[in-house]
């Protein structure tokens, strides 16, 4: 049988045996209908040509990769949260305040005018570029700079929202050669979607309890 993979921009996770999908190319989450869901579950358990054809016809799978279908979401279990650690009493300087303000506004504008996949691709490229120089995942440095971002973010006159704020934080950290990722999570019944910034087992802009209530569907 020919090799197949999830098509570009698509990731999934299983919750109670049911797949949920994130399509960053179309900016949406979705579920499959009964027959197609059964075909997908059958395919990931034991690939067959008939199941593959049905999923290709539904634009779930594509030809061209020998890699098995996977969620594409691998992240360590969260063990600590920068948000739940004591914040420093010192205030951040005006230069950092302007940087955070500009980054948040720019990210919000891009999310309103561009596809999510394009924004995530640019973020990953910027993070790779930053990694060509000295890069660290030191928890102390991550906590310190994440808390600085969060302190200034409270002053930005725009409502908080997990997606633009997480993208803005990861961008802010990458400028300082600190590696972090965006973790997308979902619940099934009722459906809910969320995302947060995380580096290793350290959550940077959310609480442990909240992040643990979601199944991870993608890590960028």
Residues 185 and 125 sit within 8 Å (Cβ to Cβ): no
Both tokens assigned to 203: 């959550």
Both tokens assigned to 69: 């279908």
Predicted pLDDT of residue 133:
64
Predicted pLDDT of residue 137:
66
Count of CB atoms within 10 A of residue 5's CB? 17
Predicted pLDDT of residue 91:
67
Predicted pLDDT of residue 66:
44
Residue with tokens 């910027």: 126
Predicted pLDDT of residue 63:
85
Both tokens assigned to 181: 């990722």
pTM of the model: 0.90
- Low-confidence spans in the chain with pLDDT less than 70: 1, 65-73, 90-91, 133-137
Predicted pLDDT of residue 147:
95
Predicted pLDDT of residue 136:
63
Count of CB atoms within 10 A of residue 197's CB? 27
Cα–Cα distances in angstroms (integers) from residue 99 to residues 53, 72, 96, 147, 171, in the given order: 49, 32, 5, 15, 11
Tens digit of pLDDT for each residue in 172-200?
999 999 999 999 999 999 999 999 999 99
Predicted pLDDT of residue 206:
97
Predicted pLDDT of residue 76:
87
């Amino acid at each position: 049988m020919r090799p197949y993979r999830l098509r570009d921009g698509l990731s999934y996770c299983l919750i109670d045996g049911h797949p949920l999908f994130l399509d960053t190319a179309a900016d949406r989450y979705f579920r499959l209908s009964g027959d197609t869901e059964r075909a997908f579950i059958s395919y990931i358990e034991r690939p067959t040509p008939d199941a593959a054809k049905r999923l290709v016809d539904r634009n779930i799978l594509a030809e061209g990769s020998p890699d098995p279908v996977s969620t594409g979401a691998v992240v360590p279990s969260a063990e600590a949260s920068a948000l739940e650690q004591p914040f420093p009493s010192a205030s951040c300087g005006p230069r950092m305040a302007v940087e955070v303000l500009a980054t948040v506004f720019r990210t919000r504008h891009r999310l309103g005018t561009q596809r999510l996949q394009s924004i995530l691709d640019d973020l990953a490229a910027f993070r790779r570029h930053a990694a060509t120089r000295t890069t660290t995942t030191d928890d102390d440095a991550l906590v310190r700079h994440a808390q600085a971002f969060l302190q200034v973010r409270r002053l930005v006159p725009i409502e908080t929202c997990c997606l633009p704020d997480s993208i803005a934080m990861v961008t802010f950290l990458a400028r300082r050669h600190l590696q972090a990722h965006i973790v997308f999570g979902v619940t099934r019944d009722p459906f809910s979607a969320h995302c947060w910034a995380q580096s290793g087992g350290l959550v940077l802009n959310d609480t442990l309890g909240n992040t643990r209530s979601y199944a991870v569907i993608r890590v960028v």
